[in-house]
Amino acid sequence: MAIALFLCFIQEEAIAGVPVKSTTVKKVFKRNNTTCEIIVDRPVCSNAALRASIERVLLGYIKDNSADYNVSIPTAKNRSFSTIIQIMGNSILKKFIADYDKDNDPFDRGQFYNIEIKLVADTKEYVSYSINEQLFTGGEHGMYHTRHVTIRKSDGKPLTNILQREKESQMQPLLKKVAAEQGDLEEYLKYLKHLNREDIPLPEEDAWLQPDGVHIQYQPYEICTWVMGMPEFVIPAKDAQPFISKEASLLLKSR
């Protein structure tokens, strides 16, 4: 059976308008009481250059999210995407065990480290992915963190600095309007008021694009308690235009 090589020499260029679907690659690594799981929506599209670019970006996020565990992206030559994930997962598990798996600990409830990358938007001009990280190393509860990336189809490059953070104060009327109209954010606004915060801060992670507009999301403890979760704001495309990068603005206008 032939194996499709990842990042092989690409004859064509990435182009917009190509649908990107996905096939799920799931790898589970377990030793003793420690589990590592990597789940990735691998891109499936007819343009090899675009597919390779997206794969490279997604692998980069696994590497960045797992930086504490000294994981690196293996040399791609003669290796499939699935094999690369396998090698990275084994590397994460080995370091995670060294750091957190304590032998003969009667209170050891097991440790885990999970990364799940999901396709959340596919338009003519871009795709967006969520990168969800969860870990438990003991204590009362685990922790989780979510990042997102929007990748331009015309060249396969990820957008960076979508939010114009220098305009945070100018965005306050818009953020408060969106929060008021989005009813499920009421509890978070009450909590900010409890902290004597009159403004709504921008999140630590950058925004991402979806057909309904610009999405931003807050991490645990960022504007609320852990148990309250990770609030997400959706800023309509027409309202977001003055506060996002030129590249993001063009993508939203083109849909």
Q: Same domain, yes or no, for 219 and 119?
A: no
User: Which residue type sits at 102?
Assistant: K
Chain position carrying tokens 């957008």 = 159
Domains: count for the chain? 2
**Contact criterion met (CB below 8 Å) for 255 and 236:** no
Q: Which of 64, 70, 62 is nearest to 95 (CA)?
A: 70
What's the confidence (pLDDT) of residue 1? 33
| pLDDT recorded at residue 184 | 60
Residues 123 and 196 occupy one common structural domain:
no
Q: Provide the 8-state DSSP code for 223.
A: S
Q: Strands across the sheet with 232-235, in order?
A: 208-210, 213-217, 232-235
Give me the pLDDT at residue 8, please: 42
pTM of the model: 0.86
The 10s digit of each residue's pLDDT in 92-125 is: 888 888 877 665 555 566 788 899 999 999 999 9
Q: Is the pLDDT assigned to residue 2 strictly greater than 50?
A: no
- Are 27 and 70 members of one domain? yes
pLDDT in tens, 65-74: 877 777 888 8
User: 112 and 206: one domain?
Assistant: no
What is the CATH number for 132? 3.30.565.40
In this structure, are 128 and 198 located in the same domain? no
Q: What digits encode the pLDDT tens for the residues 163-188?
A: 999 999 999 889 888 888 876 666 66
Round the average pLDDT of the chain to a whole number and report it. 83
Residue 133 φ/ψ, nearest 5 degrees = -120, 130
φ, ψ (nearest 5 deg) of residue 68: -65, -15
Q: What whole-number distance in Å separates Cα of residue 196 and Cα of residue 216?
A: 22
